[in-house]
Chain A
Amino acid sequence: MIPALCFDGVTFSYGAVPALEQLSFSIAPGERVALLGRNGAGKSTVVRLVAGIQQPRDGTVWVGDWDTRDCVPEQLAWRVGSLFQHADQQLFAPTVRDDVSFGPRALGVGVREVERRTDHALEDLDLTAHAAHHPYDLPPALRKLAALAGALALEPALLVLDEPTAGLDRALSARVIRALLERSAGGVALLVVTHDLTFAAEALDRGLVLDRGRLECDEPLAGLLGAGPRLEPLGLSPPPVAALSAALDLPDRPVRAADAARALARVARGKGAP
């Protein structure tokens, strides 16, 4: 099977400031991958390279069987939906609905299909009530959701998202998680840059960790987040649920809230509730 995304020895720098060094990894359709690491590790650069707004200095970024060097960003939009770190910069239409529907309209899909995709994306992220609002009348976290809805409405094979839950409350984070799980169950590959490890634990299952532009780690997220002492040198700290599991020595060290609650209940029954 052709990977949804493949970085093959990618090197990139901003002028004299190096950002990525010989980065190689690939993501299969339906995989849910977290891209983690310190500020300045190169995570957002990966997003820009996948979206085709920057080109590798060395190596190749493959989106499916397309070399991003041969594609303009508009073309890549057939396969990639992107959410950039500062989502304000990707909103421009007078209403949220116009913004979300811009992608599919630009792809030239039929009017009915544009409507269907737009409605679906808005509903999935609980934005229907805001559809007629100007994006800039929304708080920043909702603007980010509106931009995410625009990426979903492309119905691409690959979603590359930079901090999709920044500033969201728990209810809206849960909507994002549900929408992403639904897309991935349908075969969409996810690459998500995040510092929100609570969100990552719930929504994603493989962790890539960048450090100074190099890939330091590529493994199942549950094991990584549960491995307290290994996290700190990578610039990460265990999310509270993983820390709780470790501190109470819960069996299998769950990192997702529902799993931890079940384990806690089971152990509490065994020892007589505290």
Chain B
Amino acid sequence: MKSLTLEHASFWYPATEAPALRDVSLEVAQGEIVALVGALGAGASTLLLVAADLAPRVTGGRLTGAVARRDRSGIVLPTPWTQASGMAFTVWDEVAFGPANLGWPAHEIARQVDRALEQLELVPLASRDPATLSGGELQRVIIAAILAMDPGLLLFDEPATELDAAGAQMVWRLMRRLAGEGKAILLATSALDAVPDVADRVVWLEDGAVRAVGAPDLLADVAVCEAGLGTSVATVWRASGLPGPYPPTVAHAVRRWR
């Protein structure tokens, strides 16, 4: 079942002539993780804002084409510290802010908050003041706060940039688990090396348009590597002058090497 469908979507920010998205058609199914990759400014963040119904509703600007959402969406912005309510004195209350605003009964709020805190390994921080958290801890709190609203469509913009290695791993694993529960996930990330283990499909954006769509080994494709969007392993392989196809991950490289 499709959770999100874009048909020929183009989007212009206010007072700009060039569209930030050009004629993008894309579907994300329930249970699927789609990764958006591209150079900075290629349109991945804009696509997430459109998918979240924040563009043009909040950003202003103009959207053409059609966007259909089957599920309620939740978005984690690349600036998660701007998403904190600023009205909570504990991490638990911060995570409860969204569900409370959905008007859920108290027991349901508590159930969702406790679950989200567990999922993000935040239980030990539940009574901390959010203002005393490190950047990475706060990023996890914001992810938990979005999950606690139980959206069917999850939109993640650079969700791991402030996380340490264990935190990033935890978030990538959690995404796979959420997809297993039927969530639809659209992810914009510059962490190209994580993508092969996380995503089901990769969408390569260039200048606001879809340049290619494929399986995660798209990130070892010659043209993708030339555009600077290959994984580290594929990029090293290519630079060494060894023939393609390039291996996207260390595991692939080891198999090729034998």
Contacts and interface: CB of A to CB of B under 8 A. Distances in A.
Contacts of A40: 133-134, 136-137
A244 B41 CA distance: 30
Given A139-B41, A240-B232, A265-B240, A248 B254 contact: yes
Interface string A40-63: 100010000000000000000000
Interface in B59-104: 78-79, 81-82
A10 B39 CA distance: 41
B119 interface: no
A85 B165 CA distance: 17
Given A235-B165, A235-B166, A240-B231, A168 B40 contact: yes
Contacts of B233: 240-241, 244
Contacts of B192: 170
Interface in A98-114: none
Interface residues of B, number: 50
B161 A247 contact: no
A163 B190 CA distance: 14
Contacts of A230: none
Contact of A142 (B40, B165, B250): B40
A251 B191 CA distance: 27
Interface in A1-23: 14-15, 17
A243 B229 CA distance: 19
B242 A85 contact: no
A239 B194 CA distance: 11
A140 B257 contact: no
Q: Chain B CB within 10 Å — which of A88, A244, A257 has the most?
A: A244
Q: Which of A39, A170, A239 has the most CB of B within 10 A?
A: A39
Contacts of A38: 136, 164, 166-167
Given A140-B79, A169-B39, A268-B242, A235 B45 contact: no
Given A141-B78, A235-B164, A273-B242, A39 B132 contact: no
A85 B137 CA distance: 13
Contact of A195 (B40, B162, B237): B162
Contacts of B257: 248, 274
B110 interface: no
Nearest to A259: B236
Nearest to B78: A140
B105 interface: no
B226 to A, nearest CB: 12
Interface string A113-140: 0000000000000000000000000011
A237 interface: yes
B241 A265 contact: yes
Contacts of A168: 40, 190
Contacts of A139: 40-41, 45, 78
Interface string B162-189: 1111111100000000000000000000
B242 A265 contact: yes
A39 B134 contact: yes
Given A39-B134, A88-B79, A139-B41, A243 B250 contact: yes
B214 interface: no
A16 B192 CA distance: 39
B242 A163 contact: no
B236 A236 contact: no
A229 to B, nearest CB: 14
B239 A170 contact: no
Contacts of B243: 273
B162 A163 contact: yes
B193 interface: yes
Contacts of B140: 39
Given A39-B167, A195-B168, A240-B233, A17 B132 contact: yes
Interface in B187-222: 190, 192-193
Contacts of A264: 236-237, 240, 242
A268 B249 CA distance: 18
B162 A85 contact: yes
Contacts of B239: 257-258, 261
Given A237-B166, A239-B232, A248-B257, 9 more contacts: A139-B41, A142-B41, A163-B161, A195-B165, A237-B165, A240-B193, A240-B249, A244-B232, A257-B239
6 contacts: A141-B158, A167-B158, A236-B165, A239-B232, A240-B232, A240-B250
Give the 8 A-B residue pairs with the shortest CB-CB distance, closest first. A39-B136, A261-B239, A240-B232, A237-B165, A264-B240, A166-B161, A261-B240, A265-B240
